[in-house]
Structures are given as structure tokens and as C-alpha cells.
Amino acid sequence: MSAQYFVGIGAQRTGTTWLANYFTQHPQVCFSAIKELHYFDAIYRPDLCGIYNKDHFYVQLQEIKAKIERNEATLQETLQYDCLLYRIEMADDPEKYREYFNSILTSEHRVFGEITPSYTLLNRDGFKAILNMFPAAKFILILRNPCDRYWSHLNLHDGRFKDFSAMDKAIECLDNPQYFLRTDYKRTLSVIKSVVPADNILILFFEHLFGSQTMGQELKKINSFLNIDDIVPDIKPLNESKKNPLPVEYRKRIFQHFEFVYQFVSQLFPDQLPESWSDDLKQFNS
């Protein structure tokens, strides 16, 4: 492979689906037909991501197969079907991960890759496995205000939080590793920086990437990092619903749980910290 491999490792609820759509549109990017291949997390974090096994992807395969047989499948679904065939085989043959991208790469592509947000959960052995397969791999990580990311994650997976009768449960979930570890950027950054060369890591802020005045600049950072041309994406703006705001008293309690993350990131990026991060630090810093 002459093209450069890259992987988006999250975090979850930071606009990675929007970014995947951008990559899918880019003529120089060979992007997985399935945004989240869940290959490395299923192997190296089975405690949290073990559900992404052959059976999980086989269900998706059968759903698309039924559409194909009824001549109802879109072109994208047909591409996803081919990808799913490879993904099921990956469980028993690691080379199928590489072979899948080989099967869809063309001479126009400068880079190829995927985005799986739960790769933020990987330990050192998981990141080492990526580098063993692709020694020059590049990694993209998007950070989002910890309170906002956590709250968005809860609302995505649990309808109880559409009213505030279950707010105490929201606090209880802070001890759930599925929620907590995805917001523990200190752990993720410390692990990845201990394995991956600094030049091969791009760290962005959600608030900048989707800011009306800063999006263009952030996309240029991504394009420069991957050595691809700038394009004007034909994608709808990110629509993060504000219908269920986080009450201040609970925001404070969640902030206190993740204060160490705010402090760690603010020390790493003192001149780049988004306004909402700074506001939380000023308002709630104990």
C-alpha cells in the first residue's frame, strides 16, 4: 500500500459521523463503507466492546442481503455488504482488515481509514496492534467539553434523561466505565502518546471544529495532517439538539467528577481551550 493509513479514535459524541461523511465525499480519501469497523476494540477491549463480534455484523449483513434480493439496496448499502463480508472474516483472520482496504483503494486515493469512537478505550496493546499493522498510522482525536460529551452520550443511549426525573441516575452513571472512560481524555492521551509519535497524532476540539468561525481552519488542519486537498464539503451542519439542556446543579456535579480532565487538557492546550471549557473551570473550579 502506498497510501497513508489513518484512524479516527473518537471520542464518542464529538461529531465523528459528520467527519466520516466528509471523508466519504473527499476524492482522495478511501474510507470504510462502514464508519465503525470496531476491529481493534473488539479484540483489545472485550470487556467493554465484546458485543462487536461476528454475530453482531452478521445481523447487519442479513438485513442488507434481504434488501439486495428485493432490489431495494442503495449503492452505499451494497458497498456496506461487501465490507461486512470482510468484517466477519476479520474475527478469525487479521489480514482481512488490510485486505478490505486493498480491495477498495484506487490510484486517486492518498489516504485510507476508518473512524471507531470506542478506540478511545484502547490500552497500550491496542494502539501497538494498530502500529504493528500500519507502522506509520496517523490518529485523529476530537475532544469535547467533558460535561457536554457525557450528557450527550447519556441522552443518546437512555431515553430516561429526556426528563429530569432520572437525573440522580445520570450521576450514578459516572461510575459506569462505558461513560466514564470515554470522557477520560487524560487516560486516552497519556496512553496514545506513550506509543504513537507526536507528529502522527492530531488533536482537535469539537467546539472549534463545529464553530461557525473556526470550522474552515480546523478542516485545513485535518487536510494538512493527512496531506489531502482542501474541499468544500456538501454536508449539512452538525445538528446537536439543545432541547434537553443540562441543569446547572447537575453540570456542577458532573464537572467535579471530571475536573481532573479539564485541568489536564487546559495545561496541554492553554492557548486553545474552548470558551465553554474555560467557563466551566471558572464557574465550578473548587
Using CA of residue 203, residue 25, residue 40, residue 130, what is the dihedral sign? negative
Q: How far from 27 is each of 31, 52, 113, 227, CA to CA, in Å?
A: 10, 29, 13, 13
192 touches 141 (CB < 8 A): yes
What is the residue type of 187? R
Q: Which three cell numbers stand for residue 212?
A: 461557525
How confident is the model at residue 286, as a pLDDT?
64
- The single residue listed with the C-alpha cell 502500529 is 131
φ/ψ of 202, rounded to 5, equals -115, 120
For all residues of the chain together, what is the average pLDDT?
A: 93
Inside any domain, residue 194: yes
Q: Please report, for the domain that includes residue 42, its CATH number.
A: 3.40.50.300
Return d(Cα 79, Cα 47) in angstroms, integer. Answer: 30
Angle, CA 110 vertex, CA 109 and CA 115 arms, to 5°: 90
229 touches 223 (CB < 8 A): yes
61 touches 85 (CB < 8 A): yes
Q: What confidence tens digit (pLDDT) does each residue in 180-220 have?
A: 999 999 999 999 999 999 999 999 999 999 998 999 999 99
Which residues, 6+ apart, have CB-to-CB distance to 58 below 8 Å? 88
Given a cut of 80, whether residue 241 has pLDDT beyond it is no
Number of domains in the chain: 1
Which residues, 6+ apart, have CB-to-CB distance to 168 below 8 Å? none
Q: What percentage of the chain has pLDDT greater than the value 90?
A: 84
Inside any domain, residue 254: no
Inside any domain, residue 71: no
Q: What confidence tens digit (pLDDT) does each residue in 101-114 have?
A: 999 999 999 999 99
How confident is the model at residue 245, as a pLDDT?
80
For residues 85 and 240, the model is more confident at: 85
Inside any domain, residue 173: no
Inside any domain, residue 223: yes
Inside any domain, residue 134: yes
How confident is the model at residue 163, as a pLDDT?
54
Half-sphere exposure (Cβ direction) of 197: Cα atoms closer than 13 Å: 7
How confident is the model at residue 171, as a pLDDT?
86
How confident is the model at residue 237, as a pLDDT?
74
Question: What pLDDT band is residue 30 in, cutting at 50, 70 and 90?
Answer: very high
Dihedral angle at the C-alpha atoms of 75, 80, 85, 88, nearest 10 degrees?
-170
Q: What confidence tens digit (pLDDT) does each residue in 127-183 have?
A: 999 999 999 999 999 999 999 999 999 887 655 555 545 577 788 889 899 999 999
Return d(Cα 180, Cα 186) in angstroms, integer. Answer: 11
The model's pTM is 0.95
Q: What percentage of the chain has pLDDT greater than the value 70?
A: 94
Q: Residue 122 has what DSSP assignment? A: -
Given a cut of 80, whether residue 277 has pLDDT beyond it is yes
Given a cut of 70, whether residue 285 has pLDDT beyond it is yes
Q: What confidence tens digit (pLDDT) does each residue in 55-86 have?
A: 999 999 999 999 999 999 999 999 999 999 99
What is the residue type of 131? L
For residues 240 and 205, the model is more confident at: 205
Inside any domain, residue 283: no
Inside any domain, residue 120: yes
Where do runs of H (alpha helix) occur along the chain?
Answer: 16-25, 39-44, 46-49, 54-69, 75-90, 95-104, 124-133, 146-157, 167-172, 177-183, 185-193, 206-209, 215-226, 248-268, 275-284
Range of the domain at 115: 4-53+91-145+185-243
